[in-house]
Amino acid sequence: MKRSHLFLCLFSMLSWLNWAPAAGSKIFHFGPCRISVSVTEIRSGFTAIKANIQARDPIKTLSILSHPQSLHKVKSSDRCCIILHLFNFYVDKVFKHCKTEDSYINRKISSIANSFLSVKRKLGQCHEQNKCLCGQGSVEKFKQILANYEGLNVTSAAIKSLGELDILLDWMEKSH
């Protein structure tokens, strides 16, 4: 009897650990998609390099993510699509072109990129299940962000986008 009770307690604990998000993670609802994101980990890594990255930004008068209408007034039904596009954008374009001569900065960027890659995969699975649909509004907003990015040279655009990561994280948490 004691053994079965111990087994039940152990099984319950393991089930709870598998269900519970990792420490510092939050469950975000992007439309019908529920994604666990360790915003604390991403923000911590970004905070450690923010001043250095923003000091490397040669163009202080332009913004990629906070351009009027980029992330403002995104309908709840379009959040999944825009966040999927943004995580793809950061993984496929931004992180690939953010290399510095400082190995500490590069390790932090790599850590943030790995977190983004994990979320990108989860969002991709949701999209494949047809839960993450893209309306015209989200497509237009992402096209504006991409146009802002592509208006600069690759390195400057990547550094600027990485320097604006807090804008994306703040937007995610506000729409949470």
Token digits of residue 116: 């983004």
* Structural domain includes residue 15: no
pLDDT at 94: 96
**Angle at CA 123, nearest 5°, toward 119 and 125?**
120
What average pLDDT is seen over the chain? 83
Q: Which domain holds residue 112?
A: 20-174
Q: Which range among 1-10, 31-40, 128-137 shows the weakest confidence by mean pLDDT?
A: 1-10
Q: How far is CA 161 from CA 66, 84, 104, 165, in A?
A: 10, 16, 19, 7
* Structural domain includes residue 152: yes
* Structural domain includes residue 68: yes
* Structural domain includes residue 51: yes
CATH of the domain at 125: 1.20.1250.10
Q: pLDDT tens digits, residue range 49-102?
A: 999 999 999 888 888 987 656 777 778 778 888 899 999 999 999 999 998 899
* Structural domain includes residue 134: yes
Task: Note the pTM of the prediction, 2 decimals.
Answer: 0.81
* Structural domain includes residue 6: no
Phi, psi for 55 (deg, rounded to 5):
-70, -25
What is the domain count for the chain? 1
Q: pLDDT tens digits, residue range 18-61?
A: 344 445 678 888 878 888 999 999 999 999 999 999 999 988 88
* Structural domain includes residue 14: no
